[in-house]
Amino acid sequence: MFQDFGPLTERRRLERQQRRKRLIVAGVSGVIFLLLLVVGALATLHVSAAGNSSATMPSSTTPPKEIHSTTRTIKMLCSSTDYKSTCVSSLSKAVNSSRGSSSSKLQPKDLIKAAVVVVTSEVAQAFSHSELIKSDDPKVKGAIEDCKELYNYAKDELKRTADGLGKNVLQQLPKREHELKNWLSAVMSYQQTCIDGFPEGEFKTNMKKAMTKAKELTSNALAIISEASSLLSSLDIQGLGLGRRRLLSREGGDCPGCQVSHKDGLPAWVSDADRRLLKQQQAKKLKPNVVVAKDGSGNFKTISEALAAMPAKYKGRYVIYVKAGIYDESPTVTKNMMNVTMYGDGSRKTIVNGNKNFVDGTRTFQTATFVAIGEGFMAIDMGFRNSAGAVKHQAVALRVQSDRAIFLNCRMEGYQDTLYAQTHRQYYRSCVVAGTVDFIFGDAAAIFQNCNLVVRRPLDNQQNIVTAQGRVDRRQSTGFVIQSCRFIADKKLKVAGAPPIRSYLGRPWKEYSRTIIMESTIGDFIHPDGYMPWEGDFALKTLYYGEYGNKGPGAGLAKRVSWPGFRVINKQEAVKYTVASFIQGDDWIKATGTPVRLGLYN
């Protein structure tokens, strides 16, 4: 039969459509409510143990039918996690603590913020175990100090996770997935770094046990965020906007810096001061706030002095020009020093030099000549060097913890552990990184593009390994991507009469190590296996090592390792590891005027 579409029929049709929409919204809201409780419980231990009454909700009797339904839903949600029993127990406690006479009036964001308060206290409890350790061993004492520092970083990341959930959870979660996973991945890295700082033995074993549950819950939170985001992104519901993922620079809502792009093409979160700076930079006319010069011709004689004098609440980008010279110091761009640009007269002319090392008693974490922590750090035409030499083993030239960090035309020189790409998103363009053993290591999401990776000669009893990526959990959004780079042998790698040195592209520092080498040129000095194990069969099944479109005499794949985790990837898979996809660089890198290839070259 033909249907008559008169005004009354149309009105009824619209009413049915609205009812369906309300039902869908209610159903999705219920699922997301519980999903977000898991996120809030990412490091929750016992509330009673924390003694934090501010996060505890009043309790009341709950109907058995509701309890059964909730328990079943919790088990369903936890099925996607790697630590299911931990997920179920922690989520059940979070739900129970939220029940009460006023619970119906609470919004999901209220419960999440309350749960994250518990998270902060419980993560503190896990890290504080290090303070219970008593030892006269300077290495143990140093590890305890590192754990204190790392806890402060973890606490900041957890706060950002809570704040990043925003007011409208349904619409914001898919858009903020990258940010949330970035922060939680850093928390996992800090947890592991705390453990790694202790020498082998009882103290390290106990610290690992103390951190176990916090690590499991963080992993579960990453899993739930991924699943929830995928669910919402797949929902194409008219009028709800749940299935749309947009760049941060084009979003609206309550996310800081998520407004519509400015008319000049830069993201709206870029301040007016930054806009002026970026235009100057593009014109090769950077105007510094201060000048550093060893000869006294600038505002300061050292970089550390210039950083210390930076205004506490400076708005915009703070530019430091470092004149040519070798600066024997160990500057740190602290977490409060955001949006610092530092540029020199060339990577071989402006050099920051140090020689702290493991053999002389400094922990690897603290050996760095230069440390970049504050978000948005950018270095141009600078050199970073650790001159301790191969005999001193671990000796870091540059440690980068800064999110959205950029290094352009820079040089990092050392031997073992030259560049510590520790956490967050990093981009290296047209840089030179020189070293021997694991000379690019860490747990960042870092992309190296158009760089020269120079393999030097180590000690005669050592082997060269370019990368040692340290992803500790398969849910982390971290990994190293080497794109359109060149693997080059230093002229002194081969010495007449000396034993030959084997050189490899990488080895798995941690269980879920991830490294992708694509569209790069590999020299013939690289061993045909390509990669070497860390110890025995550790991580060989869980790592992710991929190659795509490489060339050169060392790029042959016929004799590559046959590990389950190694693969030759196709173009579709390679696209996932480009600048735009892997570190969301189409937003923040382009905004600085830095040359960048967002996709594949071929």
- Give the model's pLDDT for residue 16: 61
* Active-site annotation holder among 438, 443, 473, 587: 438
Residue 325, SS3? strand
Mean pLDDT over 274-294 rounds to 69
Kindly tell me if the per-residue pLDDT of 472 is higher than 90: yes
Residue 407, SS3? strand
- Give the model's pLDDT for residue 132: 84
Average pLDDT, the chain: 81
- Indicate the range of 56-65, 216-225, 252-261, 408-417 predicted with least confidence: 252-261
The alpha carbon dihedral of 313, 583, 443, 358 has a sign of: negative
Q: Most confidently modeled of 17-26, 170-179, 576-585?
A: 576-585
Higher-pLDDT residue of 37, 194? 194
Pairing verdict, β 318-322 and 290-292: parallel
Contact yes or no for 462/437 (Cβ under 8 A):
yes
Q: Comparing C-alpha atoms, which of 468, 332, 453 is closest to residue 401?
A: 332
Contact yes or no for 116/94 (Cβ under 8 A):
no
Cβ burial, residue 16 (10 Å; 0-12/13-18/19+): exposed
- The domains of the chain are located at 107-236, 272-587
- Give the model's pLDDT for residue 376: 96
Q: Is residue 520 very low, low, confident or very high in pLDDT (cuts 50, 70, 90)?
A: very high
- Indicate the range of 18-27, 142-151, 366-375, 439-448 predicted with least confidence: 18-27
- Give 37's contacts (C-beta < 8 A, 6+ positions apart): 91, 94, 95, 98, 111, 112, 115
Higher-pLDDT residue of 453, 256? 453
Q: CA 186, 189, 191 angle in degrees (round to 5)?
A: 115
Q: Is residue 387 very low, low, confident or very high in pLDDT (cuts 50, 70, 90)?
A: very high
Q: Comparing C-alpha atoms, which of 325, 330, 320 is closest to residue 295?
A: 325
Mean pLDDT over 142-162 rounds to 91
Residues β-bridged to residue 517: 482, 547
**Within a 10 A sphere around the Cβ of 62, how many other Cβ atoms?**
14
Higher-pLDDT residue of 176, 473? 473
- Give the model's pLDDT for residue 164: 78
Q: Comparing C-alpha atoms, which of 381, 330, 322 is closest to residue 355?
A: 330
Mean pLDDT over 238-265 rounds to 39
Phi first, then psi: what are they for 558, rounded to 5°? -60, -35
Q: Is residue 236 very low, low, confident or very high in pLDDT (cuts 50, 70, 90)?
A: very low
Q: Is residue 55 very low, low, confident or very high in pLDDT (cuts 50, 70, 90)?
A: very low
First to last CA, the chain: 56
- Give the model's pLDDT for residue 5: 38
Mean pLDDT over 280-304 rounds to 84
Counting residues of the chain whose pLDDT is more than 90, the rounded percentage is 60
The alpha carbon dihedral of 164, 166, 170, 176 has a sign of: negative
Q: Measured between alpha carbons, how far is 275 from 278 in angstroms, rounded to an integer? A: 5
Residue whose structure tokens are 């916090």:
214
Region 272-587: CATH code: 2.160.20.10
- Residue 529 annotated as catalytic: no
What are the helix (H) ranges across 165-264?
169-196, 202-234
Q: Measured between alpha carbons, how far is 189 from 443 in angstroms, rounded to an integer? A: 7
- Give the model's pLDDT for residue 110: 44
- Give the model's pLDDT for residue 40: 41
Q: Measured between alpha carbons, how far is 121 from 442 in angstroms, rounded to an integer? A: 27
Q: Count of alpha carbons within 13 Å of 228, Cβ hemisphere only?
A: 33
pLDDT in tens, 109-126: 443 443 345 456 667 788
- Give the model's pLDDT for residue 169: 61
- Indicate the range of 82-86, 148-152, 520-524 predicted with least confidence: 82-86
- Give the model's pLDDT for residue 488: 97
Residue whose structure tokens are 């669910």:
231
The alpha carbon dihedral of 545, 547, 552, 556 has a sign of: positive
Mean pLDDT over 292-306 rounds to 97
Residue 244, SS3? coil
Pull the structure tokens for residue 339: 């949006």
Cβ burial, residue 388 (10 Å; 0-12/13-18/19+): buried
The alpha carbon dihedral of 291, 295, 300, 301 has a sign of: positive
Mean pLDDT over 207-211 rounds to 93
Pull the structure tokens for residue 97: 């603590």
Q: Is residue 265 very low, low, confident or very high in pLDDT (cuts 50, 70, 90)?
A: very low
Kindly tell me if the per-residue pLDDT of 283 is higher than 80: no
- Give the model's pLDDT for residue 167: 66
Region 107-236: CATH code: 1.20.140
Residue 475 DSSP one-character state: T
**Within a 10 A sphere around the Cβ of 36, how many other Cβ atoms?**
23
Phi first, then psi: what are they for 365, rounded to 5°? -55, -30
- Give the model's pLDDT for residue 457: 97
Mean pLDDT over 131-135 rounds to 86
- Give the model's pLDDT for residue 567: 97
Q: Say which amino acid occupies 234.
A: S
Q: Measured between alpha carbons, how far is 239 from 106 in angstroms, rounded to an integer? A: 25
Q: Measured between alpha carbons, how far is 150 from 144 in angstroms, rounded to an integer? A: 10
- Give the model's pLDDT for residue 222: 85
Phi first, then psi: what are they for 219, rounded to 5°? -60, -45
- Give the model's pLDDT for residue 425: 98
Contact yes or no for 329/354 (Cβ under 8 A):
yes
